[in-house]
Chains A and B, each alone.
Chain A
Amino acid sequence: MAENKLKTACKAVVIGGSAGSIEVLLKLLPALSPPLSFALIIVLHRKNSTDSSLVNLLALKTNLPIREVEDKDAAAPGEIYLAPADYHLLIEKEEMFSLDDSEKVNYSRPSLDVTFESAADVYGSSLVGILLSGANADGTAGLNTIKKKGGIIVAQKPETAQSSFMPQQAILYTPIDYVFDVEELTVFVNSLNANA
């Protein structure tokens, strides 16, 4: 019952992560059953600002269409979008992306908080926000906003995260809905897919 409600409701899933998140995605992406009924938006802190190999690396692990976002691209269901390095990723009411090169937030650009908050504004209760491994406090404020607007928030189980600080912060300071290891997370994301 609850699961069916989730399925029809979910329009976007935003996954945010920092150190140690890429390996989670490398496990998660191949396990997703296409086509997705929602847009999957990935925001990662990255070291190298001109690195476009990340999207190629992730693309190897999925048959779903995946690309690095350019300004005003549509946020369409069934596609995977990766935030480009050095820009904040925001979502407009018309369900398309805007980029913004303003000041770093939590020492980060892209900042997870910025995308979580902006997605919460647009998708409200049809949004799921997931916070993965990381050594930074980014993401927690954003998850709180998602929750306030009726969405669902999830953190990676800190014991399974390469850097536990980030999901730990979320667990401490948000009314987190679920705390999952990578397998549980995969099952959960697939359960959101109305096409599955």
Chain B
Amino acid sequence: MIEEDEVDLVLNDLFELYGYDFTNYARASLKRRINRLFLLDKFPSFAEFRYRLKSDADYIKRVIEGLTVTVTEMFRDPLFYKILRAEVIPSLASKPFIRIWHAGCSTGEEVFSMAILLKEAGLLHKSLLYATDLNPEVLEKARKGIFPIVQMKQYSENYIESGGKNDFSAYYTAQYSQAKFVETLAERMIFSTHNLVSDRSFNEFDLILCRNVLIYFDKYLQERVLNLFNESIGTLGYLALGSKETLNFSAIKPNYKQINKEKIWRRIS
């Protein structure tokens, strides 16, 4: 078991040597992730774990992969996507140009889901989807638009529950155990690394999605990131969070109006 003070040492190393700052991540969850990695990689002692961390620059990839949680799915929480379809997207339709930011996009399932919604609304051609994550490995996967075929049954059900009317399987071609999503969906996507802890706002958006990322941050870092979003949302733009995340603790809350009890807020001032 890695204890609290040892966690601090690891975080310090990660920052000093590699520039990754995890100090304001939610500690209980982070400590579990570090312990999990320590057990999975069968280190005989904390000292050896730390030595590997410091002396093997390739191991950092594995550490980032191990400490972050990249679980995601297409049309995750279908009812959320239903509101996107019914309320959010129609209100953006008259814009000459639609900019969307997926912050913490993981392997891209959320971005491809959004592209499908925009496509079906006839808006994809004038949209840009910026998809960012701190982990370059997941972005590499996201860019390919290839997801395991075993997931397609679930995704297709989610899609239908979200109000999808088409044949979901028309959006991909099966290649052995993989489903490759059609190129036209990816044409309007831009993938880039962006660390919410240390990087700045880089554009103004009509919709920012940051789902199931803030749960991994402590309250202080959540507030910083929400301020970053606040700086990056245009007038009447939207902010969408994960199903158990909230603006309630934030000073930016008065500037926003919640839509339909869903975790979607619209900027009103």
Contacts and interface: CB of A to CB of B under 8 A. Distances in A.
B165 interface: no
A183 interface: no
A53 interface: no
A170 B86 CA distance: 49
Given A98-B28, A98-B29, A100-B216, A71 B71 contact: no
Contacts of A101: 69, 71, 212, 215
A90 interface: yes
A72 B219 contact: yes
Contacts of B243: 84
A182 to B, nearest CB: 31
Interface in B182-215: 212, 214-215
A101 B219 CA distance: 18
Interface stretch (B14-22, B111-119, B244-252): B244-252
A70 B28 contact: no
B151 to A, nearest CB: 15
Nearest to B33: A102
A114 B216 CA distance: 15
B215 A100 contact: yes
B27 interface: yes
Interface in A77-135: 84, 87-88, 90-93, 98-103, 114, 117-118, 121-122
Contact of B32 (A69, A72, A90): A90
Contacts of A93: 27-28
B245 A70 contact: yes
A101 B32 CA distance: 12
Interface in B48-81: 69, 71, 77, 79
B83 interface: no
Interface in B204-233: 212, 214-216, 218-219, 222
B26 interface: yes
A71 B69 contact: no
Contacts of A88: 29
A84 B79 CA distance: 17
Given A70-B245, A100-B215, 11 more contacts: A50-B77, A72-B222, A84-B243, A90-B26, A99-B244, A100-B32, A100-B69, A102-B69, A118-B28, A121-B28, A122-B28
In the A-B complex, the 4 residue pairs with the closest CB atoms: A90-B28, A98-B26, A102-B69, A100-B29
